[in-house]
């Protein structure tokens, strides 16, 4: 039997420009699928005023509610506090710290797109989150469908 208090939670930060679509969907999936076993952050280099309503709708379709989230500005502290930093089209604005794992996920931007175009982006993000969970040795929790 392992002592959960001796292990520290892995942490991940998702970064995109507006922190309104891709990064919010990724954070929602990681939070739900990790069952709380991963500390999840998201931020943007130029945060929008609100989360993309089509991204919210697409996530609600799979049982994940991200309506309470708000776009946040990217800070060096958020990067420093995260083991894995995943960028999604934020360019060179993400500060680089030694010892961090960086990945850049090439994903279409859901901004200005309808639900039919956002669903494949959502599904691609979910598949990438499942790979990340496997790499972190965390079994995915089941999603409850609405």
Selecting among 27, 30, 90, 132, the annotated active-site residue is 90
- HSE, CB side, 13 Å, CA atoms: give it for residue 73: 3
Active-site residue, 16 included:
yes
Is residue 128 within 8 Å of residue 47, measured between CB atoms?
no
Residue-wise burial string across 49-81, b where 16 or more C-beta atoms lie within 10 A, e elsewhere: eebbebbbebbeebebebeebebeebeeebbee
Active-site residue, 94 included:
yes
Distance between CA atoms of 32 and 24, rounded to whole angstroms? 12
11, 13, 133: which is closest to 72 by C-alpha?
Answer: 13
71, 62, 58, 74: which is closest to 113 by C-alpha?
Answer: 58
Provide the β-strand partners of residue 85.
13, 102
Selecting among 56, 85, 94, 107, the annotated active-site residue is 94
Active-site residue, 127 included:
no
Selecting among 13, 15, 16, 121, the annotated active-site residue is 16
Residues labelled catalytic:
16, 90, 94
């Amino acid at each position: 039997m392992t002592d959960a208090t001796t292990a520290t939670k892995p942490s991940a930060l998702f970064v995109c420009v507006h922190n309104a679509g891709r990064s919010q969907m990724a954070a929602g999936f990681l939070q739900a699928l990790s069952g709380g076993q991963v500390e999840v952050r998201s931020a943007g280099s130029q945060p929008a005023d609100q989360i993309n309503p089509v991204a919210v709708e697409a996530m609600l379709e799979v049982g994940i509610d991200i309506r309470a989230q708000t776009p946040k500005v990217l800070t060096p502290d958020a990067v420093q506090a995260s083991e894995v930093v995943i960028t999604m089209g934020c360019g060179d604005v993400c500060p680089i710290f030694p010892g961090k794992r960086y990945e850049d996920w090439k994903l279409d931007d859901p901004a200005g797109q309808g639900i039919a175009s956002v669903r494949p982006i959502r599904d691609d993000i979910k598949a990438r989150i499942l790979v990340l969970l496997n790499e972190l040795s965390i079994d995915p929790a089941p999603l409850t469908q609405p």
